[in-house]
Chains A and B, each alone.
Chain A
Amino acid sequence: MNAKDPEKLFLEKVQDFLDRGTENLGNRTERRLEEIRGQALMAAAQKRSSFLPPRRWVLAGSFAMVTLAAVGLFLWLSPSTETLPAGEIEDLEIITSQERIDFYQNLDFYRWLGSKEDHLRPNGKGL
């Protein structure tokens, strides 16, 4: 130590003063600090038991990601083999068409009417 350095001397005095201040805090304060430390240790133990270690989080996360990627890849690569049955397509046309529903209920009548009209208009003329 450079004895002539007033700042070092000053800092040593300050450190000595501050260290002495922690030596005897009094029984009440020391007991209270022990209690506080005990509470903190309990909280730390709870935290440790409620969480997986970080390494296990990484393993669990990696496993979940790999599984998700495999399922996604399988679904993307597998060709769609399902075909809609013909009856379902007809129903779909009826539902999506803008015709009124009674048109489909009387479809036989309109077919008959259509054939009659064709019969009356042999050259696209008539009616």
Chain B
Amino acid sequence: MKSVRYGWQTETKDPMESNLDSKEMMNRFLAEVERRAFQMAKFATGHRDEALDLVQETMLQFVRRYSLRPRQEWKVLFYRVLRSRITDWYRRTFVRRKILAWLGRPEEEDAEDPLQSLPDTGNPNPSDHVIRQEERGLLEKGIRALPPRQQQAFLLRAWEGMDLKQTAFIMKCSEGSVKTHYSRAVHTLRALLEGIYS
């Protein structure tokens, strides 16, 4: 049977993977993407537990829908499911905020991630360390503050290394829209960090 081919697909196939059974292949794949998926979800939600819930929903939906698809399609399909879950989360949050505002209750404050306050022991130079911490804080706030579509385009292109076609497929939009979202995100973040790099 010839499977459906997407525009972003390539012919490349890892020869090592043919020796693995499907469960081990899936285990390796999920272990490879879970941390980045969690970080992406955390940038979107700002909450550890909500990010974990989104990763859980994504993984379950992904294996139910696409586990029988060829291995080389998994990454793009996984991020497509994650993007869809994140979009649903934005919708749910929007409705919840509206209801809370209507009831006159104050919105819950975002909990501070305790990991962010831990010192970076990987860098022994104190002056460099201060700059790094400042950079990190600014970058994290900057990425979180990006509009959802810009954030998704930026993380997929700059971090995951997806090309335009793959990103457009994941975000369900045109390649032109991806270019626009990505360049706006880069412009915003660069402007934010200009003081540090200059």
**What residues make up the interface of A, taking CB atoms closer than 8 Å to B?**
6-7, 9-11, 13-15, 17-18, 20-22, 24-26, 29, 32-33, 36-37, 39-41, 43-45, 47-48, 51, 53-55, 57-58
Range for the number of chain B residues in contact with chain A: 35 or more
Q: Is the interface of B mostly helix, strand, loop or mixed?
A: helix
B32: shortest Cβ distance to chain A, in Å? 11
A36-B136 contact given A15-B158, A26-B115, CB 8 Å threshold: no
Q: Is the interface of A mostly helix, strand, loop or mixed?
A: helix
Query: Counting CB contacts under 8 A, is B162 at the interface?
Result: no
Q: Which of B63, B120, B189, B193 contacts A44 (CB 8 A)?
A: B63
Contact A36 B34, beta carbon cutoff 8 Å? yes
**How far, in angstroms, from A10 to B155 measured CA to CA in the complex?**
14
Residues of A within 8 Å of B136, CB to CB, are 17
**What residues make up the interface of B, taking CB atoms closer than 8 Å to A?**
1, 3, 22-23, 26-27, 30-31, 34-36, 38-39, 48, 52, 55-56, 59-60, 62-64, 67-68, 115, 120, 122, 135-136, 139-140, 155, 158-159, 186, 189-190, 193, 197
Residues of B within 8 Å of A15, CB to CB, are 158-159
Residues of B within 8 Å of A20, CB to CB, are 120, 122
